[in-house]
Amino acid sequence: MKIVISYPPLKTKKGYPTLGQNRQFQYFRDPTFIYPVVPAIAATLLKENGFEVVWNDCLAENISYDKFVEIIQEEKPDLIAFETKTPVIKQHWKIINDLYKLRTPDYELRTVLFGDHVTALPEESFQNSLVDFVLTGGDYDFLLLNLCNNLQLEASTLKTENLEPGIWYREEGQIRNSGQFKLDHDLNSLPFIDRNITKWQLYAYKNGNYKRRPGTYIMSGRDCWWGNCSFCSWSTLYPKFRVRSVRNVLDEIGMLVERQKIKEIMDDCGTFPVGDWLKEFCHGMIQRGYHQKIYFDCNMRFGALSLEDYELMKKAGFRLLLFGLESANQATLDRLNKNLKLEKIIEDCKSATRLGLFPHITIMFGYPWEDWEDALRTLQLGRWLLKKGLAYTMQATLVVPYPGTSLFEECKQKSWLKTINWEEYDMKTPVMQTPIPDEKIMELVQGMYKVSFDPRFILRKLFSLKDMDDLRYCFRAAKKVIGHIFDFNRR
């Protein structure tokens, strides 16, 4: 049985869609390609279990639609799997319907969708397309293997009683499912990603997080031990947190360092594990000598680490720490359920930078309850952190209430949604009613990026250059900033 795991080409003039493994979808002029870790594990699992697997990322490989169809015609897969997301779901439905024209009496092509949007709204895809299966929850690697095992057993009639919970399918004209998904799989039982079948080089260079290249991604856990922020689309996929053993993660890092000659690793756990796990991990990095061979980056929460933790992380090879700042207003942080005190933001940025780590901050604008003064406070805090050198880089975005999040439910209750045309959930324009006009919100986002033209910011960056890697990194970052200013231009 042959399975294609695909990111099909998407027709758009808005830029490159940053779809794979992305909590926040955007079109970029200057694309960042994130290694789609869970789909890549799915490909590896399938291969290890005797299935033929084709990795087909048309977005990263810049493959045209005609070429994509040609590939599918040549490969003749039994099943095509797409990771999907709210702004592109309608395009995926159309592609699925198009692909079904390739079916013949001798060739039964089937399709499967997975991701946070279809986890929130699984029936919608059956109602709007000919899709055969939807996998809900974030363990779609395990679920895809389970589905393929069952399809292999019964080519014509699926033995639905053997399906794991979380799989949606059609039966006798009805939409049915195998129950609520469970996240009870053991992450340590998963194989390390087969980087070759998943074309690791596609994701090793065009990624703004890496200072040294080639870089790559891993995930130490799924997905965030906090998991309660009201806007977070991945808490829909992973309502429960699980972490791999330290040894398992270190072994994978060792393999990447030795075999792939990777120079920087980004861990894409929603929030990296802390406490004893983190300490053991840092000591392991040092004992095995990986701290001298690679930089290690991760997502982190403000208020989660002590000064000693930052110190140990620096020694262990950590470099970039990505923090969700979201807003400079305590009332907003509370409404978002961030469980964060405002003063911890500055305190942690100071601690991290003092110890030689590089905080990257993410900021959002367009909250329905924030007025101009509130938004301006966020802009000012973000700019101040960057100019003072307390934050190294940043990302400013619009808040998007993805289906499945509690923010989306709140929007529905309070009639804040301006549209439920999912294509508009792409950050090109605000989709929630706010007291601030849309143009002004877009200006705020651009205002954040324009701090890069501030002479003090530029001077600070110039004085911080230590080597050619720094220079190249700054050059790439500048290119990205200019791209982002255009990304947030109103249509």
Complex with ligand SF4: residue 168 or 323, whichever CB lies closer:
323
Contact 137, 113 (CB under 8 A): no
Complex with ligand SF4: residue 224 or 445, whichever CB lies closer:
224
Q: Total binding residues for ligand SF4 by CB under 6 A? A: 12
φ, ψ at 82 (rounded to 5°): -120, 135
Measured from the Cβ of residue 262, the count of other Cβ atoms closer than 10 Å reads 24
Q: Whole-number minimum distance, CB 234 to ligand SF4, in Å?
A: 6
- Which member of 235, 353, 393, 405 binds ligand SF4 (CB under 6 A)? 235
Q: Whole-number minimum distance, CB 229 to ligand SF4, in Å?
A: 3
Complex with ligand SF4: residue 271 or 434, whichever CB lies closer:
271
Q: Does 18 bind ligand SF4 (CB under 6 A)?
A: no
Interacting residues with ligand SF4 between 92 and 151 (CB under 6 A): none
Complex with ligand SF4: residue 6 or 236, whichever CB lies closer:
236
Residues 291-330, one symbol each (x = binds ligand SF4 by CB under 6 A, - = not), give: ----------x----------------------x------
Contact 224, 241 (CB under 8 A): yes
- Which member of 96, 229, 305, 385 binds ligand SF4 (CB under 6 A)? 229
Rounded distance, CA 131 to CA 98, Å?
Answer: 11
Q: Whole-number minimum distance, CB 433 to ligand SF4, in Å?
A: 22
Crossing angle of helices 37-48/140-153, nearest 10°?
30
CB under 8 Å to 91, separation ≥6 — which residues? 10, 11, 423
DSSP 111: E
| H-assigned helices in 268-418 | 275-287, 307-315, 330-335, 342-354, 372-387, 406-413
Rounded distance, CA 94 to CA 392, Å?
Answer: 41
Buried b (16+ CB within 10 A) or exposed e, 55-75: bbbbbbeebeeeebbebbeee
Residues 199-228, one symbol each (x = binds ligand SF4 by CB under 6 A, - = not), give: -------------------------x-xxx
Complex with ligand SF4: residue 177 or 228, whichever CB lies closer:
228
Q: Whole-number minimum distance, CB 326 to ligand SF4, in Å?
A: 8
Longest dimension (CA), the chain: 68
Interacting residues with ligand SF4 between 251 and 290 (CB under 6 A): 270-271
Binding site for ligand SF4 (CB under 6 A): 224, 226-229, 232, 234-235, 270-271, 301, 324
